[in-house]
Amino acid sequence: MKIGSDWRNRLWACAMVTLAATGTLIWWWRDRPMPLDHLADVAAIVEKFEKTVFGNELGKNDSTHLVLWRGKLNIFLATALPNDLYAALGSHTRSLEYLTGLEIAVVNTRAPTNIELYIASKTQYSQIAADFVSKKKYDSNWTSKTACYAIGSIKKWRYWRGLIVVGADLPSLRIHSCLLEELYQLIGPTKNVRSLRYSISYSPDNLTELSLNDKLILRTLYDDRLYPGMPRAEAMVMARKVINELHAAVRARGPNALVHPRHAARQVPQSGRMDLAPPPP
């Protein structure tokens, strides 16, 4: 009788220890901070919005007005991509579509095209940039020091052409993250600012998707209450209002609160865009 009782007591004790350990693990998993989804407070996002949207990557004067894309963006692949990177590019463009409400397509003909994408060696970096801006030579001081870069052409506070160049000698994962980083910056938040820990501009090397902070900033930039040519001071007043609204919505409903109304109205199939060009042979 005593042996049976001891056996049951030991079994019961083991069960309680296992249950407690499982509960601790579930609590840790639920409440641990997720590196790609750690949402900063409103003030920090507002600060980052102003610095990245109006700042200049090359040390020139900050922009005095808001600069945005309008219309459809056609990305021409000047260099063939392997299937895995082609799929990653498609994933990135769909993510940017739902945040901005823009229509973005990868096309296999140069016209009509407003964004060109190259995977090239560093020896080609300066010449590609020179050809894009129609100059015989281009300042190579910064192009030679970067793994990837993007250039946007502006008319009347609107982007109308863009260039993305990524290093061909980079590891596949780095090319993947470069594609995301440069697409994100070319769409609008142009300057790298390391003010938020969880952001594509803080540690782009290992990111293959935008953090919630990045998504909220881009969604704010393309809110219908902001427009190309909007003076900086006026734009920041409205941006604070939009960020407050979206921040509360994300807290309440999750990332789906960031879907742009124009994108939702188009009801793009989840399986992907039909006009995404087939991968090169």
* Residue 40 contacts residue 211 (beta carbons within 8 Å): no
Residue in 229, 228, 198, 203 with CA at minimum distance from that of residue 215: 198
Give the pLDDT confidence score for residue 106 in this predicted structure: 93
Give the pLDDT confidence score for residue 146 in this predicted structure: 81
Rounded CA separation 26/20 (Å): 10
Considering the entire predicted model, what is its pTM?
A: 0.79
CB neighbours of residue 273 within 10 Å: 16
Rounded CA separation 146/219 (Å): 27
CB neighbours of residue 112 within 10 Å: 9
As given in the structure block, the two tokens for residue 82 are 């392997």
21-52 burial string, b = 16+ CB within 10 Å, else e? eeeeeeeeeeeeeeebeebbeeeebbebbbbb
Give the pLDDT confidence score for residue 7 in this predicted structure: 52
Give the pLDDT confidence score for residue 17 in this predicted structure: 45
Handedness of CA 91, 209, 269, 220 (dihedral sign): negative
Q: Please provide the distance, in angstroms rounded to a whole number, between the alpha carbons at the two ends of the chain.
A: 77
Give the pLDDT confidence score for residue 271 in this predicted structure: 42
Handedness of CA 31, 247, 215, 99 (dihedral sign): positive
**pLDDT by 10s per residue, the chain, length 281:** 444 556 555 555 555 544 444 443 333 333 333 333 588 999 999 999 999 899 876 566 788 999 999 999 999 999 989 999 999 999 999 999 999 999 999 998 887 889 999 999 988 988 898 888 886 656 666 677 788 899 999 999 999 999 999 999 998 888 888 899 999 999 988 766 655 666 776 665 567 888 899 999 999 999 999 999 999 999 999 999 999 999 999 999 889 999 999 998 876 454 444 344 444 43
Give the pLDDT confidence score for residue 248 in this predicted structure: 95
